[in-house]
Amino acid sequence: MSTTETREVLLARYGELWLKGKNRGNFERRLARNVRRALKTVAPGCTVEREHGMLVVRPAQRAREATQRLQEVFGLSSISPARKTMREFEAIAETSLEAMRAALARYPDDAPIPFRVETRRSDKRFHLTSVQLDRQIGECVMAEFGPRLSVNLSKPELVLGINVRAEQVYVFAERIPGAGGLPVGSVGRVVSLFSGGIDSPVASWMAMKRGLEVIFSSFHSYPYVGASFLRKAEKLVRRLTRFQNSALFCATPLTRIQEAIRDGAPKGYRTVLYRRAMQRIATRIAEDEGAGGLVTGECVGQVASQTLENMRCIQDVSDLPVLRPLVAFDKSETIALAKKIGTFELSIEPEPDCCTVFQPQHPILRARIDLCDEVESRLSMEELLAEAYERTERIPIAGLG
């Protein structure tokens, strides 16, 4: 009988261990559910179970694609394709050699690779201590692959991990970084004011990273700026569902509000008044969807209109917290992140945003709240807002699975 009954699994680890009590249970359940959803298409039929502070996905079908998919799940700190084996020294040794053979195939065959074994025992009844197992398995590995490796305990490049559990042992030679952050949905929901530009997709992604489920709210000015703007925004939402698996996309016509502002407000106030209208409608959507905050792609001083005074004036219409994850980013930092998460190419497709409709040459830099309030009451803004809100289209976007 072979002692090397091995099975491929994926070990998915999570960080943020400071989470305690009720939060921790919520966090772990959410994470397991998000992992299951993310793997629905790439590894159908796999199970995801919690084991000693990590998630174990089995069997690891299409391990490479599944691992890549898991790199898009917030809350995971690292992922390892691993082999499961029995709690016997012979089995562990043989499995270690297999794992090392596969790992070494990925390295060039020139200088020896700094290497070590790292054992963790969550079951201390195993007859060898961690240090003994490190040493004995290390000897087996060196006997087999000696010239290609050099033992280096302090700065290894290749680490053979061995996790000894009550029922089985996992062996792995790769630790692929996860996306970090918190599981989407574990912290709450927010409505993102989503323009289809470069910034708001990155801001939405950052909110997701901190455990917030994002609902997308876009405003268009059909027929001035309409169908193609929405197609672009929807494509971006679809791209972002890689990170949260499904999303609600809300599209609201701002046209009549913009026309009223064009006809009845001081020119320089147009953009600020548009944005106040957007925040009001987004706040109503947030109430409907149980969201506790708003997210925008605003940044301080990036464009002339993004002054503290204007931000104050815009946020004054909502009592929800307004999160601005990009507030201290340089544009180049936002662009680098947009490229990394795959939104940049979609964002730069030339498509005007509704803020540009009737845009004045010199927008106001220090808008005054009392003046905004006064203009809005003159324009019967409440009715216009109610109408735009009623005409909001709500489009559910399915994730990749």
Burial of residue 58, with CB atoms counted within 10 A of its CB: 0-12 exposed, 13-18 middle, 19 or more buried: middle
Radius of gyration of the chain (CA): 27
Contact status: 297 vs ligand ATP (CB under 6 A): yes
What amino acid is encoded at 162 in this protein?
I
In the block, residue with structure tokens 């708001």: 200
Q: Is the preceding peptide bond at 223 cis, omega within 30 degrees of 0?
A: yes
Minimum gap (Å) between residue 328 Cβ and Mg ion: 18
162 versus 299: smaller Cβ distance to ligand ATP:
299
Tokens standing for 393? Answer: 């289209």
Distance of alpha carbon 268 from alpha carbon 362, whole angstroms = 6
Contact status: 296 vs ligand ATP (CB under 6 A): yes
In the block, residue with structure tokens 């201290």: 328
CA angle, corner 319, sides to 315 and 261, nearest 5?
A: 45
φ, ψ of residue 246 to 5 degrees: the values are: -160, 160
CA-based torsion, 131, 137, 143, 147: positive or negative: negative
105 versus 328: smaller Cβ distance to ligand ATP:
328
183 versus 201: smaller Cβ distance to ligand ATP:
201
Minimum gap (Å) between residue 199 Cβ and ligand ATP: 3
Interface pattern 212-231 for ligand ATP (x via CB under 6 A): ------xx------------
140 versus 193: smaller Cβ distance to ligand ATP:
193
List the one residue from 199, 213, 234, 376 that touches ligand ATP (CB under 6 A): 199
Q: How many residues bind ligand ATP (CB under 6 A)?
A: 20
Contact status: 278 vs ligand ATP (CB under 6 A): yes
181 versus 253: smaller Cβ distance to ligand ATP:
253
Minimum gap (Å) between residue 47 Cβ and ligand ATP: 39
34 versus 258: smaller Cβ distance to Mg ion:
258
Distance of alpha carbon 218 from alpha carbon 330, whole angstroms = 24
Contact status: 194 vs ligand ATP (CB under 6 A): yes
Distance of alpha carbon 24 from alpha carbon 371, whole angstroms = 48
List the one residue from 81, 161, 183, 197 that touches ligand ATP (CB under 6 A): 197
Distance of alpha carbon 33 from alpha carbon 167, whole angstroms = 24
Answer with the entry of Mg ion, ligand ATP, none that 75 interacts with (C-beta below 5 to 8 A by kind): none
Minimum gap (Å) between residue 324 Cβ and ligand ATP: 9
Distance of alpha carbon 141 from alpha carbon 101, whole angstroms = 10
Minimum gap (Å) between residue 216 Cβ and ligand ATP: 9
Minimum gap (Å) between residue 233 Cβ and Mg ion: 11
Interface pattern 319-358 for ligand ATP (x via CB under 6 A): ----------------------------------xxx---
Beta strands in 113-245 (DSSP E): 113-121, 149-151, 158-164, 169-172, 176-177, 188-193, 212-220
Interacting residues with ligand ATP (CB under 6 A): 193-195, 197-200, 218-219, 278, 296-298, 302-303, 305-306, 353-355
